[in-house]
Amino acid sequence: MTKKIVSGNEAVAYAALRSGVNVITGYPGTPSSEVIGSLMKMGKIEGTKIEWSTNEKVAVEIAATAAWAGKRSLCTMKMSGLNVAYDSLIGIAFSGCIGGMVIYVCDDPGVTTGMCEQDTRGFALMSDMVMLDPKSVQESYDFIKYAFELSEEIQYPVFVRSVTNVAQSHSSVDIEERVMPNLDAPVVKKDINKYAKAGAVMCMNQHRELIDGLQKAAAILEKKGINKLALAGAKGGIGLITTGVCNGYIDEALDIAAEYGCKIDNLSTLRVSASVPYPVKEIQDLLRHCAIVVVVEENDPYIEREAYVQAHTIGVNTKIIGKLDKTLSRVGSFSAIHAAKALCKACNVELPAEAIEYGKEAAAKCTARPITCCAGCPHRGTYMAINKAVKNAKYKKEEVIVTGDIGCTILGMNPPFNTVWMEISMGASIPCAHGFVYAGVDKPVIATIGDSTFFHGGMPGLINAIQHNMNMTAIIMDNGWTAMTGMQVNPNTAHEFQVEGCKNVDLVNVVKGMGVDNLFVVDPYNLAETTAALDQALALPGLKVIVARRECAIQANRRKVKYALITVDYDKCNSCKSCINTTGCPAITLGENGIIIDPKQCNGCGLCAQTCNKSAIVREVI
């Protein structure tokens, strides 16, 4: 055993190795990406297949069939990815598994990494699947190991749900030696009653068995004592229910509450670490013992609602404080101060505003960090070209709808481009443009999507647009990587960067194979070429696809690739800031004598030189 300082995600990776996992799949998505990312940095791991799948649905299907063959599998994703995987996952839940199968999903209360503030506990409830909620990095490690054991005992997949404040935090963890996976020949049994859904009787039998499996899990979890109930003092006191990361806030919350006059000597607590199935017995025991019960959980009030149900079931009038009485918000991440606020209400003490809004003054003094494209980002050239082509076509900027998608491409919504109007989910940009055309929008409609997002969820939308010959332009911004989540490979990544044994799937060939008639392939570093392609696309009827192809600047910079040397001719520079205002490049700042280009950030893309009407910026190819 070795003690290491690791993140919550790294702890999950080590726990998977300790558990002898055969197959690990997933799709990149902050805050969960580092699980597979850290494993891939370890090099080839004997007996374990690890892959970044095309999307989460594909990932969970691979993991499921590996488990059906008697092997242990782990599937990782962020909360939004579960939406994609769920179509298959609910069917997988009904069929169960043979080898242990664990789905590790990370929620993001407080929206640290973007997307909707989603509570995946609802998915576990809807599919009758066990869900464990670690409060810490150490518990992340421990719960993954236990989840595999529990999955094999009940013969059903198990969720382990983390949140950003656990997945991305670091702590010292006791890491055990790796256990080699089961390398015996797979045993796959043909059993259509278990693995197929072709018939009402078959499906209902699977449903009954799934419910039985969840009830079995409830008994196992109760016996194990994974949900920690501690009744204090005589009856009639205050109780506190916490879940997941909030389980770690109790002691600090008591100290904060005491500081403001709410001193609770005998607090009864229920720390919920398995949120599905609900710990019914423990909730009932706490409700019987206490006159007031405070419930502190991030996002949706699932446990709180169950507390109301159980209070009604056992006929007690225990007062419940939480989200449903508006004491706590259903929005944002929680800390000890939120638990203290609810405890103070139980004591009829009002926490002062300055306590609740701690850190507000410090936050106000922080330097603003604009969300913009990195220096040398090829997407910058694409958005500059869109704006220029719209102007060339004599349209006002507000007349041309540009739909966006998930990933770096969405940065086009921010200054200085202000180009993208909206986004929904992975791959939605093309169907959104399709819908605007159907709605009767008579000006050009442009969809923008990245290469990884295109393979993840964009292909069906483009096929649909091709079939219906939509009058729109789709721009696939191909930087060769799944960049925003940490530079993971995707099917389109160049062959030399693919994992050993894999090949790349060329995006342009895929688009050609779909039957696109008007296809343009451009280099977004060449502003004139990209603008000309857009000029032509906006003038043509029907569907047009532009592939703007240039590697992500960060990845190129890591390999010390520099395309050109950019210098400033200060005799010509008049400090008009046109280059700054048009490109928004963070490598360009304004000095006393004119603009300054930071050579450490600049990769020589030359977009600034192409926008300077004084020819004051010189690009010299190296």
- pLDDT tens-digit map of 113-166: 877 899 999 999 999 999 999 999 999 999 999 999 999 999 999 999 999 999
d(CA 54, CA 457): 9
d(CA 97, CA 154): 9
Specify the length of the chain in residues.
622
Task: With CA atoms as reference, report the closest residue to 458 among 404, 416, 421.
Answer: 404
Q: Where in the chain is the domain with CATH 3.30.70.20?
A: 562-621
Q: What is the pLDDT of residue 359?
A: 66
Task: With CA atoms as reference, report the closest residue to 156 among 98, 70, 83, 88.
Answer: 98
Q: Where in the chain is the domain with CATH 3.40.50.970?
A: 2-223, 378-557
Q: Are 115 and 78 in contact (CB under 8 A)?
A: yes
| Biggest CA pair distance of the chain | 85
Asked, as a colleague might, if the bond just before 277 is cis with ω within 30 of 0, I would say yes
CATH 3.40.50.720 at 562-621, yes or no: no
Higher pLDDT, 367 or 101: 101
d(CA 81, CA 105): 8
Superfamily of domain 2-223: Thiamin diphosphate (ThDP)-binding fold, Pyr/PP domains (3.40.50.970)
Higher pLDDT, 319 or 485: 319
Side-chain half-sphere exposure of 579, counting CA atoms within 13 A:
29
CATH 3.40.50.970 at 378-557, yes or no: yes
Q: What is the mean pLDDT of residues 48-66?
A: 98
**For residue 171, how many other CB atoms are within 10 A of its CB?**
17
Task: With CA atoms as reference, report the closest residue to 385 among 527, 285, 498.
Answer: 527
Asked, as a colleague might, if the bond just before 31 is cis with ω within 30 of 0, I would say yes
What kind and span of H or E run contains 122? Answer: helix 121-126
CB contact set of 505 (below 8 Å; sequence gap of 6+) = 455, 491, 492
Residue 388's alpha-carbon distances to 191, 396, 473, in angstroms, are 60, 11, 15
Give backbone dihedrals phi and psi of 321, rounded to 5 degrees, phi first: -115, 135
Q: Where are the beta strands (DSSP E) in 273-322?
A: 274-276, 290-296, 319-321
The answer on pLDDT for 388 being more than 90 is: yes
Residue 552: is it exposed, middle or buried by C-beta count within 10 angstroms (0-12/13-18/19+)? buried
Q: What is the mean pLDDT of residues 405-433?
A: 95
CB contact set of 409 (below 8 Å; sequence gap of 6+) = 379, 420, 448, 449, 450, 453, 477
Q: Residue 433 is encoded by which pair of tokens?
A: 């443009």
- Please name the residue that has the structure tokens 């789905």: 103
d(CA 467, CA 444): 19
Q: Are 253 and 333 in contact (CB under 8 A)?
A: no
Tens digits of residue pLDDT in 561-590: 989 999 999 999 999 999 999 999 999 999
d(CA 26, CA 51): 7
Q: How does strand 130-132 pair with strand 274-276?
A: antiparallel
Q: Where in the chain is the domain with CATH 3.40.50.920?
A: 228-356
Task: With CA atoms as reference, report the closest residue to 283 among 314, 324, 254, 253.
Answer: 314
Could you list the residues known to form a binding site for [4Fe-4S] cluster, using ranges: 573, 576, 579, 585, 602, 605, 608, 612
Could you list the residues known to form a binding site, using ranges: 573, 576, 579, 585, 602, 605, 608, 612
User: How sure is the predictor about 469, in pLDDT bands with cuts at 50, 70 and 90?
Assistant: very high
Tens digits of residue pLDDT in 312-367: 999 999 999 999 999 999 999 999 999 999 999 999 998 887 777 766 777 777 77
Helix (H, G, I), strand (E, B) or coil at 286: helix
Q: What is the pLDDT of residue 29?
A: 93
Give backbone dihedrals phi and psi of 224, rounded to 5 degrees, phi first: -70, -25
User: How sure is the predictor about 376, in pLDDT bands with cuts at 50, 70 and 90?
Assistant: very high
In percent, the amount of the chain with pLDDT more than 90 equals 91
User: How sure is the predictor about 265, in pLDDT bands with cuts at 50, 70 and 90?
Assistant: confident
Q: Give the long-range contacts of residues 458-462, CB within 8 A, separation 24 or more.
A: 458/405, 458/426, 458/427, 458/429, 458/430, 459/427, 459/510, 459/514, 460/427, 461/427, 461/428, 461/429, 461/430, 461/431, 461/434, 462/430, 462/511, 462/514, 462/516, 462/545
The answer on pLDDT for 183 being more than 80 is: yes
Partners of 445 in the beta sheet? 401
The answer on pLDDT for 369 being more than 90 is: no
Task: With CA atoms as reference, report the closest residue to 228 among 286, 165, 295, 170.
Answer: 286
Q: What is the pLDDT of residue 370?
A: 72
Q: What is 228-356's CATH number, 3.40.50.1370, 3.50.30.10, 3.90.120.10, 3.40.50.920?
A: 3.40.50.920
Q: How does strand 445-450 pair with strand 401-403?
A: parallel
Q: Where are the beta strands (DSSP E) in 66-185?
A: 73-78, 101-107, 130-132, 158-163, 170-175
Q: What is the pLDDT of residue 543?
A: 98
Q: What is the pLDDT of residue 353?
A: 78
d(CA 424, CA 189): 41
The answer on pLDDT for 181 being more than 80 is: yes
